[in-house]
Structure 1
Amino acid sequence: MTEKDPLEEVKQAAQEEAKSQVEEQAPEVETETEIEMEAESDFLAQWKERHQAYLASQKETESEKEGEKSTAVAPSRPLEATQKEKGEKRKDFDSIHIFQRSESKREAVPTPISRKLLLQASPIIATALIGILLAVYFISPLSKEKKIEVVGNQLLDWETVLAYSKISEKDYALTTLLQTKNIEANIKNSSNIVKSDKITFQFPNRFTIRVEEFMEVGYLKEADNYRLVLSSGDISETVITNEALPERYTSINLVDKALVKELALQLAPIDADILSNIKSIELTPSKVTADLLTMSMYDGNTLLLPLSEIDIKLPYYSNIAKQLSVPSIVDMEVGAFSYAK
């Protein structure tokens, strides 16, 4: 038999001892691994239960919010689920914020107004503008300040026409404009001298009263005063003194008012040059002609003719007068002839 080396025996003994120790420790490692696996399975089971409870509570909370809008206390949730929910809420908030910014940008872009809408809104816009202009006008001093001009008046002065109109200084210009028809009637009815009148307005406050008067045919003598006889046949209501008479006028010396009216109507169509040449008219009836008139002319001649034939015979006087070299009497009672005074 061979002898073993002592050194090899020591090595072999050490290896066997180490192998035996490893075999003894192996069951302990397996036992610890099993314990750890069992602990992990218990934790997962608890987590699943809590997660299911959380989901159930979430469903109950959502149903309660939709039906009764009441709040409920949710059960405690795991840290991971809470962080996950916060992350989802953050994402939702960011998406809402981005959507709101996009919507605000979209709203900031002006949309063009269609022509149809403008046409439909034009009456409202026009009414609003008129209302604003009227408000500004009534506030301004121009609303009561009026500039009144009278034109066409020969027999009536400006103050008299204005008095007839009954326009007050306190009246608004707009009120005066709206009352033009009444003002025209006031002037027409206040004097028989006025044949017609018309009021025109020019913005902002200028009024023009255009007056048409009846023609003057003479002055009727009444005692020491006179009244104007008009082409309408009317006698003016205004008394005129001798001092107020014009430098050249026709004096009518008739008593019968009916004859005065007939005379005025006969003289109305006569040329103004002939009328202005008549100095006075008197009634001088003859055996043949009851309405025979004697007219004294400013040119020195005397004219005899019937009142009822004035409009027919008087227009010939101008041609006859041109042929007279000396002051003469022109007799038109029957026919027409003349002879020196």
Structure 2
Amino acid sequence: MGYKVVVVGATGNVGREMLNILAEREFPVDEIVALASRRSLGTEVSFGERDLKIQDIDSFDFSGWDIALFAIGSDATKKYAPAAAKAGCVVIDNSSLYRYDPDVPLIVPEVNPDAIAGYAKKNIIANPNCSTAQMVVALKPLHDRARIKRVVVSTYQSVSGAGKDAMDELWNQTKGMYVPGQEVAPNVFPKQMAFNVIPQIDSFMEDGTTREEWKMVAETKKIMDAKIKVTATCVRVPVFVGHSEAINVEFEDFLDEDEARDILREAPGILVVDKRETGGYITPVDSVGEFATYVSRIRQDSTIENGLNIWVVADNLRKGAALNAVQIAELLGSRFLKKG
């Protein structure tokens, strides 16, 4: 006995990862269908040892299906998600469209699982931004112990967060650096991505922050605690998969670095790798294909009264997107949906 599951946007990076993770975690599936736009008809995607043929989203009837995992942009989600929800299929959406809607829960299962009860208002659940998801997983157990006042985070985000074309651009620019006459001009990114870093993710807002930075602030407040002050600088780096974050945390109460390390070791979804020696920490390459959010470089900040510094790394296609969506589906099934 299981659920009838739809994966929308199954040909993209995140959609493919959703299918992989559903299979890896043996999510109870009775039926599964992979949807995309008409131009992808005939394409096959993998689900465990099975191959699924892409079906056309425009002609698909969501009636009778239990859960739809959406991995398409906000514009397409705006068109298709309400129809799926109205048909009785619970939508778990990876776009930014519904994240700030007060009637749509924004869920990270390790952090705010009880908020999922609000899904019934619109039959929609929002998946957070990739950079926010891994950060709040690391911050929540520390917040429960010492109450966080302020967070200063600098992100080092991989190009896969911008999609397949972004990954291709980095690859082609890197190759072109070594072949005279085959240089590749920026198209996806505003500047050269190969051998460079770009301190802009998404568009600029009037106050000089980017929308990615604003998302981290707004989503952390919605998921964890509206009283927490957050300031972010989001940077794109020439890494294919895996987001990294240098996080400075100021608490209301003193929290010793050794106690923080012990708390994080016991927290769900986290693996601590923190040896004070060369290589005794996690890098993006180490996180690829893994479920965990990794925490390293845990240390006291002596410049403020109650401060810690931590280094947080995760596979952004997994915990930052597909894995979190599947975990939401697992949570939804265990608490609210009947199998079969």
TM class, shorter-chain normalised? under 0.3
Task: Report 1 or 2 for greater relative contact order, CA contacts < 8 Å, sequence distance ≥ 6.
Answer: 2
Looking at CA atoms only, which structure, 1 or 2, has the larger radius of gyration? 1
Q: Say which structure is richer in helix.
A: 1
